[in-house]
């Protein structure tokens, strides 16, 4: 019996090895994370021999991982910088950029806040620490500024499009994820934060910017002033299971899930 059990165990091991699953590692942006979670769930259901591990540590971490060859796909809510492309090349990595969706970064306040609209100039003053009381915008109470941390692609896009290169002031409360920003704003009636459009829910109130709503139509057209592309980065031209997944993600099924996640699908060519 022991011999039979041993032979059976050996057979199971060999059989498992013969039909071993392919595992694809994905790391990076917490903004892209809800899209990726929906995609991999649907893709694995249709392709049971392919497994994914997905973690959202921020765009900077994802880009570092693709450069260091510790991930197969990096999620990013910003473009890789020239110095990052150069470092990748030094390490033998040919970082290929793939736009997977479109986003609008929406400033959010607590639903108890009277404010419903801001201008880019007002947002800059709030995040520079120059406007410290809501009464300057028609509200009440002191302003509590919530921001993403500096490893975040959303932070860098905010710095570029809203702050115009000026730094977010040191008094801002930094959060490690978009979900944490939503939670912090929902619990503080004086708070303001910013998140990708897919993170909007009833626990916060989205503000219009320069009179424009951050929605699918305005983000897709570029009318909304804080719009951006969302990216995947891979090492070289995708092949094998990574190519199959990327092609699927950019196709009708994948882009349908972009919309289901609350973000903006790519325009049909």
Separation CA 151–CA 262 (nearest Å): 23
Q: Please report where in the chains the tokens 């099924």 appear, as a residue.
A: 253
pLDDT for the residue numbered 165 = 84
Q: What is the pLDDT of residue 142?
A: 98
How remote is the C-alpha of 182 from its chain's centroid? 14
Query: What pLDDT is attached to residue 269?
Result: 55
**Predicted pLDDT at 22:** 79
What residues contact 14, with CB distance under 8 A and at least 6 apart? none
Q: What pLDDT is attached to residue 21?
A: 64
Q: 200: which 2 tokens?
A: 């909007």
- pLDDT per residue over 161-186, tens digit each? 999 989 999 999 999 999 999 999 99
pLDDT of residue 68: 97
Strands 95-109 and 227-235: antiparallel
- Residue of 156, 157, 197, 193 whose CA lies nearest to 173: 193
Chain length of the chain:
269
Domains and CATH numbers, the chain: 22-102+229-260 (3.40.190.10), 103-221 (3.40.190.10)
- Decide the pairing of beta strands 144-148 and 173-175: parallel
pLDDT of residue 151: 87
- At residue 124, the pLDDT reads 98
Can you list the residues of the chain whose pLDDT is less than 70?
Answer: 1-21, 269
Q: What is the pLDDT of residues 117-159, one digit of tens each?
A: 999 999 999 999 999 999 999 999 999 999 999 989 999 999 9
CA distances from 239 to 125, 236, 244, 245 (A): 47, 9, 8, 10
Nearest by Cα to 50 from 26, 33, 74: 26
Report how far residue 120's alpha carbon sits from residue 124's, in angstroms, rounded to the nearest whole number.
6
| φ, ψ dihedrals at 125, nearest 5° | -65, -35
Phi and psi, residue 74, nearest 5°: -105, 130
The pLDDT of residue 233 is: 98
Please state the pTM of the whole predicted model. 0.85
């Amino acid at each position: 019996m022991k011999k039979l059990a041993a032979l059976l165990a050996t057979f199971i091991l060999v059989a498992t090895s013969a039909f071993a699953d392919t595992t694809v590692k994905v790391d990076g942006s917490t903004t892209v994370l809800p899209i990726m979670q929906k995609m991999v769930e649907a893709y694995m259901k249709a392709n049971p021999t392919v497994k994914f591990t997905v973690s959202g540590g921020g765009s900077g971490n994802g880009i570092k991982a693709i450069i260091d060859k510790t991930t197969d796909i990096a999620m990013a809510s910003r473009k890789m910088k020239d110095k990052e492309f150069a470092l990748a090349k030094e390490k033998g990595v040919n970082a290929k950029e793939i736009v997977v969706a479109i986003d609008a970064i929406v400033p959010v306040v607590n639903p108890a806040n009277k404010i419903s609209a801001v201008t880019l100039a007002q947002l800059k003053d709030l995040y520079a620490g120059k406007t410290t009381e809501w009464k300057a915008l028609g509200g009440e109470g002191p302003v509590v500024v919530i921001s993403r941390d500096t490893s975040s692609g959303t932070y860098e896009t905010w710095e570029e499009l809203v702050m115009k290169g000026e730094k977010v002031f040191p008094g801002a409360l930094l959060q490690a994820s978009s979900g944490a920003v939503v939670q912090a704003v929902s619990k503080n009636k004086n708070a303001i934060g910013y998140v990708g459009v897919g993170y909007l829910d009833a626990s916060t109130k989205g503000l219009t910017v320069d009179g424009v709503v951050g929605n699918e139509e305005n983000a897709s057209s570029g009318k909304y002033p804080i719009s951006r592309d969302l990216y995947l980065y891979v090492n070289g031209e995708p092949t094998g299971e990574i190519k199959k997944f990327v092609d699927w993600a950019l196709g009708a099924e994948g882009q349908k899930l972009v919309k289901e996640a609350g973000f903006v699908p790519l325009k049909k060519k």
